[in-house]
Structure 1
Amino acid sequence: MSDLQKAWAKNRLGTMPAETWEEEETDSVPEMSEHFDDDSSSASSASSASSTGTIIPSPSQNLFARPQGVPRGRTFHPIPWTTYFERELFLHDETSPQSPRTHAYLTSPVGQGPLFVMHHGGGSSGLSFAVVGDQIRKRLPSAGVFSLDARGHGSTTIPEGQTVDLSLETLAADLFTAIQLTRREMKWAELPPIILVGHSMGGAVVTELARSGRLGNAVLGYAVLDVVEGSAIDALQHMHTYLSTRPTGFQTLETGIEWHTRSRTIRNSISARTSVPSLLSLEEKSGDTRPWKWRTDLAATKPYWENWFVGLSGKFLAARGGKLLLLAGTDRLDTELTIGQMQGKYNLQVFPEAGHFIHEDLPEKTAISLVDFYRRNDRSALVLPPKVSELLRRGEKV
């Protein structure tokens, strides 16, 4: 601390004991906790408080240290999946040799708590839902979270020599099988109450599974994040332009995370530090200065794009169970969903401050919406009147 700073502080804090403010001089900023949860805009710009260096006299911190707003030093350091999930699973149906070896993350529900089953969008992975799953459990400690890597994504693998089939029907069947294999793996007597949650491509997958009815009464409802049929199909013509702007690789994992936050693809640095490492794999080749490559070739998924989204709005409205649609803007609504919303056929919530990855940009707000959605559809909270036969058996008047 300079003599000028000490003189200024003594003048302002004249009656304060010297040991309160005369700390050891240092230029370092304390490292933030790994669990710091910034808001949707912190990835691209600091808050007004952190940028002005507000002075906060305290016995426990330097008088002239900046407030601990934006994490410094290891901002782009990856956060491991163990921070958010109890275990990882590798699920394979032994009766079907051609089925994938599905990689998934799980935190089991407690007691009669619900299981939030998550399905990511194209090019993402199961860790896309890590931070929002953690936020769900903070508000509903009995809840479980199951999030898988779809075939062709993350650490899920298919038999060697087999073509990656990303058709909607195949992805929905994979999700159903993974849920059943998890039930067997965890030795659950029956499936817990399920809330299906899907982002983008995953929204089409969970809608398809809900419409099929294969999970029976276990499904309380399903939530679709930032995808509707009309706008999705319109956006497909711009996909090649978007893909051409992406780097083909990165020097390190940290630079990959930094690109996602700087480009505002993911606007929450904690989410990016958690999910981005699972999107990249190291492919070391002589002379390649960017050895970290994309695990999923999004351009190669083009043959399935229309299959994912055509008819999505009708399926979403027709399937049984509670329905929730979370969007980043009302302009994304197509005609069919606009009419359905006016008729009260589903719940709609809009987060205009988020980008396409709503659940990663705003994990806390998304978690609040999902927990509220579960509570509105929780059948265990219903108290049904006794049946007439039960009243007669007890000798009561009808």
Structure 2
Amino acid sequence: MSTLEKHLHLGRLPPRPAVPGGGGQSSSKMRMGPGRKRDFSPVPWSQYFESMEDVVVENENGKETFRIYKSGSEGPVLLLLHGGGHSALSWAVFNSAIINRIQCRTVALDLRSHGETKVRNPEDLSAETMSKDVGNVVEAMYGDLPPPIMLIGHSMGGAIAVHTAASNLVPSLLGLCMIDVVEGTAMDALNSMQNFLRSRPKTFKSIENAIEWSVKSGQIRNLESARVSMVGQVKQCEDAASPEVPKAIVEGIIEEEEEEEEEEEDYEGRGSLNKRKKEDDTETKKEHLYTWRIELSKTEKYWDGWFRGLSNLFLSCSTPKLLLLAGVDRLDKDLTIGQMQGKFQMQVLPQCGHAVHEDAPDKVAEAVATFLIRHRFTEPIGGFQCVFPGC
């Protein structure tokens, strides 16, 4: 595995050519004939989830608000935890797929500092704090008698799911699923992660532009998922170029800068050159209206805590476990031994990028549904027939 591929475990896929269709629900939409333009416009969450709400949690820091998206009314709860830099919306297409296969309820959570969740100390992204958040949200939603819950986490969210399970913060835990996160690979990637984060675009001129970049760079290989997911990853820039600032004010600032520049001109040629440069910079700023919701580079001090010891922690959880990987080469020594000993169920979903549940939502939904049916945690619906994998 290349060094860049190891970067996947913080929730980011290094730039590479996108695979049309990605094996997900939108494959037909991605295969467009010559001359047909793909639609990069955003899609609302309401096309995939039944409801959205804010869960208020009271702790030593006061009141904090966690955004969740929900579907279903009966069966076990699948509590979905996204990867670093992503949001609950990364589960949107998977949500539609799983709800149509088995009797279950889904709750997709925006983790602290991500999406629309608002907390008093957003800089604290330690595994301990984030796992406590998950437990607090479960308690706030269901009280002392929560329904059976299966934790499903991707990348960073997978690590947080394991820490939550190992700390017994969900008393009704039914099962545990990690998606494309392995301690060995993740730890190897940390040293060069900052360079990768610096290589990404800092700003986008529109949400459509951000969606287009995510697909063409290969971060999300499924256009359908990217159109709903990227909305949770970017936000409007908070500066003078923001649409909230009246155009007259922006123009006034530009005019003042140009007047000062003209007064400082030593000669006409130099002044014209500076003025053109100023105008070019201003136009660039006016176009760059969106940026990342969270600066992952500032969370570096927590990366080690998310992943170190994760394999043994995962293996120590007594609940039934499922590991979904984009490639078998991601397995480290501890998980290889554990898998040979039958301590967890593993399934490899090839031809996917790191965002497995976005690239191939149908395949992930089928794997999760089969796991739950195999353990008799739920029943199939809509004629779904599971095929038990050999591994």
How high is the TM-score relative to the length of structure 2?
0.76
Task: Say if 1:194 and 1:251 are closer, same or farther in 2 by CA, change over 3 A.
Answer: same
Q: 1:296 offset after TM fit, Å?
A: 0.6
2:206 corresponds to which letter in structure 1? T
Structure 1 partner of 2:81:
119
Instruction: Work out whether residues 77 and 254 of structure 1, in 8 Å CA contact, stay in contact via their aligned partners in 2.
Output: yes
Aligned residue among 329, 346, 349 for 1:348: 346
Instruction: Work out whether residues 131 and 169 of structure 2, in 8 Å CA contact, stay in contact via their aligned partners in 1.
Output: no
Instruction: Name the stretch that deviates more: 163-172 or 117-126.
Output: 163-172
Q: 1:291 offset after TM fit, Å?
A: 1.3
Aligned residue among 119, 133, 156 for 1:201: 156
| Pairing 1:249-398 to 2, within 5 Å after superposition | 249-283=203-237, 284-286=239-241, 287=282, 288=285, 289-379=287-377
Instruction: Work out whether residues 57 and 63 of structure 2, in 8 Å CA contact, stay in contact via their aligned partners in 1.
Output: yes
1:328 corresponds to which letter in structure 2? A
Instruction: Work out whether residues 210 and 320 of structure 1, in 8 Å CA contact, stay in contact via their aligned partners in 2.
Output: no
Q: How far apart are the structure 1 equivalents of 2:328 and 2:63?
A: 39
Structure 2 partner of 1:156:
117
Instruction: Report runs of 4+ in structure 1 exceeding 6 Å deviation.
Output: 41-45
**In terms of Rg, which structure is larger?**
1
Once the two structures are superposed, residues 231-285 of structure 1 have per-residue CA deviations (whole angstroms, 9 ceiling, x without a partner) of 0000112212221221001000000000000001000000000110111111242
Stretches of structure 1 that go unaligned for 5 or more consecutive residues are 1-36, 53-65, 67-71, 382-398
Q: How far apart are the structure 1 equivalents of 2:122 and 2:165?
A: 26
What is the CA RMSD across the aligned residues, in angstroms? 2.3
Q: Does 1:179 align with 2:135?
A: no
Q: How far apart are the structure 2 equivalents of 1:365 and 1:380?
A: 18
Q: 1:134 offset after TM fit, Å?
A: 0.8
How high is the TM-score relative to the length of structure 1?
0.74
Task: Say if 1:271 and 1:343 are closer, same or farther in 2 by CA, change over 3 A.
Answer: same
Q: 1:351 offset after TM fit, Å?
A: 1.3
Task: Say if 1:178 and 1:226 are closer, same or farther in 2 by CA, change over 3 A.
Answer: same
Q: How far apart are the structure 2 equivalents of 1:230 and 1:133?
A: 29
Q: How far apart are the structure 1 equivalents of 2:37 and 2:133?
A: 41
Q: Does 1:136 align with 2:98?
A: yes
Percent of aligned pairs sharing the same letter = 40
Instruction: Work out whether residues 220 and 374 of structure 1, in 8 Å CA contact, stay in contact via their aligned partners in 2.
Output: no
Instruction: Work out whether residues 211 and 226 of structure 2, in 8 Å CA contact, stay in contact via their aligned partners in 1.
Output: yes
Task: Say if 1:241 and 1:97 are closer, same or farther in 2 by CA, change over 3 A.
Answer: closer
Q: 1:182 offset after TM fit, Å?
A: 1.8
Task: Say if 1:282 and 1:379 are closer, same or farther in 2 by CA, change over 3 A.
Answer: closer
2:204 corresponds to which letter in structure 1? F
Structure 2 partner of 1:222:
176
1:196 corresponds to which letter in structure 2? L
1:93 corresponds to which letter in structure 2? V
Instruction: Work out whether residues 219 and 321 of structure 1, in 8 Å CA contact, stay in contact via their aligned partners in 2.
Output: yes
Aligned length: 315
Task: Say if 1:378 and 1:299 are closer, same or farther in 2 by CA, change over 3 A.
Answer: same
Q: 1:100 offset after TM fit, Å?
A: 2.8
Once the two structures are superposed, residues 176-205 of structure 1 have per-residue CA deviations (whole angstroms, 9 ceiling, x without a partner) of 111121225xxxx83222111000111111
1:182 corresponds to which letter in structure 2? M
Task: Say if 1:99 and 1:235 are closer, same or farther in 2 by CA, change over 3 A.
Answer: farther
Q: How far apart are the structure 2 equivalents of 1:163 and 1:246?
A: 23
Q: How far apart are the structure 2 equivalents of 1:229 and 1:254?
A: 34
Q: 1:90 offset after TM fit, Å?
A: 1.2
Q: How far apart are the structure 1 equivalents of 2:351 and 2:126?
A: 32
Q: How far apart are the structure 2 equivalents of 1:343 and 1:46?
A: 41
Structure 2 partner of 1:88:
52
Once the two structures are superposed, residues 26-50 of structure 1 have per-residue CA deviations (whole angstroms, 9 ceiling, x without a partner) of xxxxxxxxxxx94449789964xx5
Structure 1 partner of 2:62:
98
Once the two structures are superposed, residues 99-118 of structure 1 have per-residue CA deviations (whole angstroms, 9 ceiling, x without a partner) of 531111112432xx111100
Once the two structures are superposed, residues 106-153 of structure 1 have per-residue CA deviations (whole angstroms, 9 ceiling, x without a partner) of 12432xx1111000111010111111011001111x311101111111
Task: Say if 1:362 and 1:90 are closer, same or farther in 2 by CA, change over 3 A.
Answer: same
2:142 corresponds to which letter in structure 1? R
